[in-house]
A and B are shown apart, each in its own frame.
Chain A
Amino acid sequence: MMSKEVFVSGNTAVATGVSLVEPGVIAAYPITPQSPAVEKISEFIADGEMKSEYIEVESEYSAMSACIGAEAVGARAFTATSSQGLALMHEMLHFASGQRLPIVMAVANRTLAPPWGILNDERDTIAQRDTGWLQFYVESAQEALDTIVQAYRLSEQEDILTPTMVCYDGYIISHAYEKVVVPDKDEVQSFIPEYEPDEILNVEDPKTLGYAPSGYNTEYRVKQQLGTETAKGAIGDITEDYADQFGRDYVGMVEEYGPENPDVTLVTLGSVTGTVRDVVDKLNDQGREVGLVKLRTLRPFPYEQLADILKGTGAVGVLEKDISFGYEGAVFSEVRSALQGTNNVPSMNFIAGLGGRDITMENIENVYEKLFTMAETGESEGRIEFVGYRFSDGKGII
């Protein structure tokens, strides 16, 4: 078998990525817009294309619990969810990462209610930033498939042992059809080493999981932090190996796009990166030096690279689909903290796409215009702008 090209939705691409890895256990509960992904997986299993055990559960809390149980006896596990389902999993997300179980989960990003909505933003996964999971934000169906394969190798690496969320924007990626290259299954299997954890439940050598000798909580947390720090280097290596073997290079944790040393730079993540690329091309064709930084991982957070990339630019914008109420967009806070100590580059936060609001090329061109003004004057009109705010009362800029 060789790689083949198919025309599929992002959800099918996710399911296909999982089928190539063929984890021992899938436990998932359907939720819009993730449902078609897990329905496709159950079809693959029913048709014998995938030899995995599909556990039907009654909630996302149970889905994550079943994955934890599966990994606790040494099986690979996969689940997928969105929004409210992810929120319901919250407690068990800590159990997965604290126990160092390398579960891989795909999340079709969807807004959190109320106001009720099924469309996309990234408030659901960004709210889970501190659960100890690694988080990738992908730009396309192809990247979703490829990142799932990479995620198993990353999470299971012995000095990392940390679960990974592969976040793909609901509808924009999950339901849009794209040409996707499906790699050869045997090649994928050879890319991921055998998963042979030794600290698992086993009747021959009874163990208790979740237990640490009293008084060593801090030391186990240090191990957890070191694991996620180790992931930084590993993501670079794995991405490079993947590019060598499969021909698609996702660079690592951050990707720069546009001219070298751009006058202004916009940092963003997820599917909107594709739209920003088009705007960057258009503006650069007009002779304006604008840059884009795609943040592929939020955890681990590539602050060293960001500081290095952004230190010479005239103004930095962060475009993100979330907000931490009472402060600002979480990604903005993190980017600014990465810039601490490098220089006083003016920066501004652009909150966009909440509840599925379209982010147009024109929106992004306006963002770049603002960045140019900031680069000239050295200051910004405000700290946070809600892109596409519909009223003319000026309250969309804070």
Chain B
Amino acid sequence: MKTKEKPEKLSDLTKTPSGKAGSFKLTDVSGWKTFKPVLDEDKCINCLQCWVYCPHGVIERTSDDQAISIDLQECKGCGICADVCPTDAIEMNKIRGVDDE
């Protein structure tokens, strides 16, 4: 598992196994998914169903309100967004290798 800030000695670790709230933010979880969502912006009607249902809150509303965007760094690839999308604007594509993340 990759972490964003690597401790190098025991004294770099907390005294007890604890961390700041939201400490999962410190862990690179981008490699956890097998499938990644791919958005077809032309099909997206910005209904925000995916934004409502995403269990990890990685769907972002864009400033122009034209289409959503997806934070692939935090996305776990569960596919709920693709399932709830009324226009099939999101397709789940299998990740083939590390470079494809």
Q: Tell me the A residues contacting B by CB distance below 8 Å.
A: 98-101, 158, 161, 198-199, 205-216, 219-220, 222-223, 226
In the complex, what residue of chain A is closest to B3 when comparing beta carbons?
A213
Given the complex of chains A and B, what is the CA–CA distance between A130 and B26 in angstroms?
A: 31
**B57 proximal to A (CB < 8 A):** no
Query: Do B23 and A214 have beta carbons less than 8 Å apart?
Result: no
Q: For residue B26, which residues in chain A have a CB less than 8 angstroms away from its CB?
A: 213
Instruction: Knowing A214-B1, A214-B3, A216-B7, say if A207 contacts B18 (CB, 8 Å).
Output: yes
Query: Do B10 and A207 have beta carbons less than 8 Å apart?
Result: no
Query: Do B3 and A209 have beta carbons less than 8 Å apart?
Result: no
> Could you pull out 7 A-B pairs where Cβ atoms are within 8 angstroms?
A199-B18, A207-B19, A208-B20, A209-B16, A210-B18, A211-B19, A216-B7
Given the complex of chains A and B, what is the CA–CA distance between A161 and B26 in angstroms?
A: 25
Per a CB cutoff under 8 Å, which of A198, A211, A226 touches B17?
A211
Per a CB cutoff under 8 Å, which of B7, B13, B17, B20 touches A206?
B20
In the complex, what residue of chain B is closest to A98 when comparing beta carbons?
B17
Query: Do B27 and A213 have beta carbons less than 8 Å apart?
Result: yes
In the complex, what residue of chain B is closest to A209 when comparing beta carbons?
B18
Instruction: Knowing A214-B1, A214-B3, say if A219 contacts B13 (CB, 8 Å).
Output: yes
With a 10 A CB-CB cut-off, give which of A98, A198, A205, A207 has the most chain B CB atoms. A207
Query: Do B16 and A99 have beta carbons less than 8 Å apart?
Result: yes
**B96 proximal to A (CB < 8 A):** no
Query: Do A161 and B16 have beta carbons less than 8 Å apart?
Result: yes
Given the complex of chains A and B, what is the CA–CA distance between A101 and B18 in angstroms?
A: 12
Query: Do B23 and A220 have beta carbons less than 8 Å apart?
Result: no
Interface size for B (C-beta < 8 A) is 17
Q: In the complex, which residues 1-41 of chain B have their Cβ closer than 8 Å to any Cβ of chain A?
A: 1, 3, 7, 10, 13-23, 26-27
Query: Do B10 and A199 have beta carbons less than 8 Å apart?
Result: no
Instruction: Knowing A222-B10, A223-B10, say if A213 contacts B19 (CB, 8 Å).
Output: yes
Q: How far is the CB of A301 from chain B (nearest CB, A)?
A: 23
Q: How far is the CB of A222 from chain B (nearest CB, A)?
A: 7
Going nearest first, the 8 A-B pairs with the smallest beta carbon separation are A206-B21, A214-B1, A212-B17, A100-B16, A215-B1, A209-B18, A199-B16, A199-B18
Query: Do B1 and A199 have beta carbons less than 8 Å apart?
Result: no
Q: How far is the CB of A144 from chain B (nearest CB, A)?
A: 28
Q: For residue A220, which residues in chain B have a CB less than 8 angstroms away from its CB?
A: 13, 17
Q: In the complex, which residues 83-97 of chain B have their Cβ closer than 8 Å to any Cβ of chain A?
A: none
Query: Do A100 and B20 have beta carbons less than 8 Å apart?
Result: no
Given the complex of chains A and B, what is the CA–CA distance between A205 and B27 in angstroms?
A: 20
Q: For residue B21, which residues in chain A have a CB less than 8 angstroms away from its CB?
A: 206-208
In the complex, what residue of chain B is closest to A222 when comparing beta carbons?
B10
Given the complex of chains A and B, what is the CA–CA distance between A222 and B11 in angstroms?
A: 12
In the complex, what residue of chain A is closest to B21 when comparing beta carbons?
A206
In the complex, what residue of chain A is closest to B4 when comparing beta carbons?
A213
A209-B18, A210-B18, A215-B1 are known contacts; what are 18 more A-B pairs with Cβ within 8 Å?
A: A99-B17, A99-B18, A100-B15, A100-B16, A100-B17, A199-B16, A205-B20, A207-B18, A211-B19, A211-B23, A212-B13, A212-B14, A213-B27, A214-B1, A219-B10, A220-B13, A223-B10, A223-B15
Given the complex of chains A and B, what is the CA–CA distance between A315 and B12 in angstroms?
A: 48
Query: Do B15 and A208 have beta carbons less than 8 Å apart?
Result: no
Q: In the complex, which residues 65-82 of chain B have their Cβ closer than 8 Å to any Cβ of chain A?
A: none
Q: For residue B10, which residues in chain A have a CB less than 8 angstroms away from its CB?
A: 219, 222-223, 226
Q: For residue A216, which residues in chain B have a CB less than 8 angstroms away from its CB?
A: 7, 13
In the complex, what residue of chain A is closest to B1 when comparing beta carbons?
A214
In the complex, what residue of chain B is closest to A221 when comparing beta carbons?
B17
Q: How far is the CB of B15 from chain A (nearest CB, A)?
A: 6
Q: For residue B20, which residues in chain A have a CB less than 8 angstroms away from its CB?
A: 205-208
Q: For residue B3, which residues in chain A have a CB less than 8 angstroms away from its CB?
A: 213-215
In the complex, what residue of chain A is closest to B17 when comparing beta carbons?
A212
Given the complex of chains A and B, what is the CA–CA distance between A209 and B18 in angstroms?
A: 4
Q: How far is the CB of A93 from chain B (nearest CB, A)?
A: 16
Query: Do B18 and A211 have beta carbons less than 8 Å apart?
Result: yes
Q: How far is the CB of B27 from chain A (nearest CB, A)?
A: 6
In the complex, what residue of chain A is closest to B28 when comparing beta carbons?
A214
Instruction: Knowing A206-B21, A214-B1, A216-B7, say if A199 contacts B14 (CB, 8 Å).
Output: yes
Given the complex of chains A and B, what is the CA–CA distance between A161 and B14 in angstroms?
A: 13
In the complex, what residue of chain A is closest to B26 when comparing beta carbons?
A213
Q: How far is the CB of B10 from chain A (nearest CB, A)?
A: 6
